[in-house]
Structure 1
Amino acid sequence: MRKSLFTIPLLILLTLPILSLSKQVCNKDDEKVLFKIKQSFGNPYHLASWQKTLDCCQWYNVECDLNTSRIIALTIFQGNISGQIPNAVGDLPFLQTLVLRKLTNLTGTIPSAITKLTRLTMLRLSWTNLTGPVPSFLSQLKNLNFLDLSFNDLTGSIPPELASLTNLGAIHLDRNKLTGVIPDSFGSFKGSTPDLYLSHNQLTGTIPKSLGYLNFTVIDFSRNQLTRDISMFFGPNKTIQIADFSRNSFEFNMSDVAFPASLTSLDVNHNKIFGNLPQSLTGLSFQFLNVSYNRLCGQIPQGGNLQDFTSNEYFHNRCLCGSPLPACT
């Protein structure tokens, strides 16, 4: 029986090695850097997949660009990682995302080598035991659109240079031990106005008036030692949606404040705010509201969803009354 002309070539094709699976696609320079990072962290089990036998684009915690085979993301989350952030991190020139999060044994300061990562768009160093200042050299990362240094032990003042980052969408400096004032430069962000999270620090002083010229979407200044007026963040043309100014020493008359229609969450509990709750609050759709522990007086406006909240969100004011508090007399 004569064999088909296609049989032999087909058999040859089936027995050939699949080159695409055996080919090394990870950039060798990036691979060397990753091994240095692994060694700096003491070769932890969390990075066990970082082996020569496996292409580094297939390692856990890293991501490669499919076209260039360069490392573009390094994300190490919730592992038993000890030590400091190695300077070798700065030797991944195509890196766009750097996340070191929930690594409670990560210590030391933020290294200046990070400034070499000129393509970086996301920097998230949070829930660690990093110490030292918020470095002013982070302002050199001109492509950064997300900065998260929350839940650390950072100290010192907020560097005003951060306001020069024109692409920022959010800044998280909350849950640290920062002191001093909010920089006046934060009222001159170019481009879009970032969501600003500065809560749970030891910030003092008044809010710079320059911040009132911007249209924030989210502000969280809660649990600091800030004083005076915050009404500049509100107004009929503002776009703020979530505002948390609770547990400070803010003091202003709430009676004539015009709250924007965009506002869905307002927390000003534990301050020194006085006056009445304006009737205009009934026109807003609040998902959260807390004005307790202030010096407010008068009847709570009836209408909207103001009565959907419990007395806990209104009590401990000077003479506030009406549903859901006891009736006014």
Structure 2
Amino acid sequence: MATQAPTSLLLSPMATGTDITDPPPGDPSDGKETTKGGAPKPGGPYLYYRVYSPDGVIPARSAFDTSDPFIGRIPVRSVPPPHNASSLARCFMNAEGLADPAATRTELYCDPFQVRRLAKLDKIPILGTGAILGRSVVTAFALVLDQELTFEEKAARPKNEDISTDGQPQEYLYYQLFTRVGEDTSDASFNETEPSIGRIPKFSIPPPHNYATLKRCIAKVEGKPIYAYADLFVNISAVHAAADPDLVFIGGKHGYGSTTDNPIVLVQPERRQGLYNRPVQVVAGERKGTLYHTDGTVLESEAYECVLFSGGCFPFDIPAKDLKFLDE
């Protein structure tokens, strides 16, 4: 990979894609918190961030506000020079109790709505006063992991998985769920007259926003892995499903899925013989980690103690207990 010349990034509406103003003095998000007596609290100013796995935001171990467990922070003075994206990512990961000495497990974004990730050597001014990247809750960085946490890492993390953060102003992504024959009931439904429509806070979706990411996040919120493999339509009138690699605009009032009247639409994938679109992964044995696609269900073969897939594309000698359908 070619070395990119470092650039210096200052906070501006152009840099973040949002309108940013300095928080009022004394606001808990301005990095200059004070005690009741007016004296500065020890440790500040701070850099704020959210941390994401591939399928959505996860609670921050350094969270400081019980009403928003997804915002973490570290003191500015705790970041060693040189102040660039790589050093910030290492410090954020350290605060989260996650090992990443070479800063290779993550990508860092100015905020969740950015398309371009920060290059490792991009200089990030974090000292001084005024509008500086990450120095408020409003301008928190987005730290995106390239893979899911390990079992041990998950066990050591905060358990709060509720991303509703009720009582706080939120911008939501609205979506509607369908099976192949009609509406499905959303576990994130908020209107009893429209049970197929759900919503998730936009901040909970990791950048860069593409259709595959949206489907993974919705599938996680719904607790229905099949929707990670669904056909996604930008609205109910769309003729063709969206292509997974494409980026999608969900920010602001005019982004896709920004209103209940015009949600994005997810339709469960078709399942029939000859259509090999069911993902199945080997979870044990010599082929552990291998991904296959099949068109049916796993059937035990008493004669050969192996697994057969309907449709005749196999058999092969992998026990059913060593297989996991990723859409179940």
Q: Which structure dedicates a bigger proportion of its chain to helix? A: 1
| TM-score, normalisation: structure 2 | 0.28
| TM-score, normalisation: structure 1 | 0.28
Larger Rg computed on CA atoms = 1
Higher relative contact order (CA 8 A, sep 6+): 2
